[in-house]
């Protein structure tokens, strides 16, 4: 491929990404920040473990990467389901989800930096678990409301 063809592929790729973000009501800025935070957390996790002399086996790497992937995909999964329900406030919810995950990753990165510098770990604050618990409650409520609406129509 020549340079013009590569440029066209790049432009079409970015147009596709923009279309996907628009469909899922996801801010490009939020997604970029989330992606950077997930990557930084993974890097600092490795550095922290190495600084404490821990051995990182491929199994732990794989588990860590799968955790990061599920966190990155969560906003897309929630939006895909909510779009089918016709909820008007999807964009706001997606923004909250992304920023909660970013907060969780930020705390984790700070914990790794603390560990690298002082050789001990900070107490765990699992904001991601709190987010998942809140989402589960919200989705259960939405399902119950839809179920009640369908039963009223019968």
Pick the range with the lowest mean pLDDT from 131-135, 141-145, 150-154.
150-154
Q: What is the mean pLDDT of residues 122-145?
A: 82
3-state secondary structure the chain: CCHHHHHHHHHHHHHHHHHHHHHCCCCHHHHHHHHHHHHHHHHHHHHHHHHCCCCCCHHHHHHHHHHHHHHHHHHHHHHHHHHHHCCCCHHHHHHHHHHHHHHHHHHHHHHHHHHHHHCCCCCCCCHHHHHHHHHHHHHHHHHHHHHHHHHHHC
C-alpha–C-alpha distance, residues 149 and 50, integer Å: 55
Contact 15, 23 (CB under 8 A): no
pLDDT at 154: 63
C-alpha–C-alpha distance, residues 75 and 98, integer Å: 7
Which range among 65-74, 89-98, 142-151 has the greatest average pLDDT?
65-74
The tokens describing 134, both together, are 């809140």
**pTM as predicted:** 0.70
Which range among 8-12, 111-115, 135-139 has the greatest average pLDDT?
111-115
């Amino acid at each position: 491929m020549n340079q013009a063809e590569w440029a066209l592929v790049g432009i079409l790729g970015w147009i596709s990404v923009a279309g996907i973000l628009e469909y899922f009501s996801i801010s490009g800025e939020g997604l970029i920040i989330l992606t950077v935070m997930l990557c930084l957390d993974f890097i600092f996790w490795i550095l922290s473990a190495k600084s404490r002399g821990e051995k990182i086996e491929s199994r732990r790497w794989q588990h860590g990467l799968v955790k990061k992937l599920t966190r990155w995909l969560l906003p897309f999964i929630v939006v895909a389901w909510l779009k089918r329900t016709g909820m008007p406030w999807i964009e706001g919810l997606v923004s909250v989800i992304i920023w909660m995950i970013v907060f969780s990753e930020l705390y984790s990165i700070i914990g790794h930096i603390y560990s690298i510098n002082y050789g001990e770990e900070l107490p765990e604050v699992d904001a991601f678990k709190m987010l998942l618990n809140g989402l589960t409650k919200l989705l259960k409520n939405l399902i119950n409301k839809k179920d009640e609406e369908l039963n009223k129509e019968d």
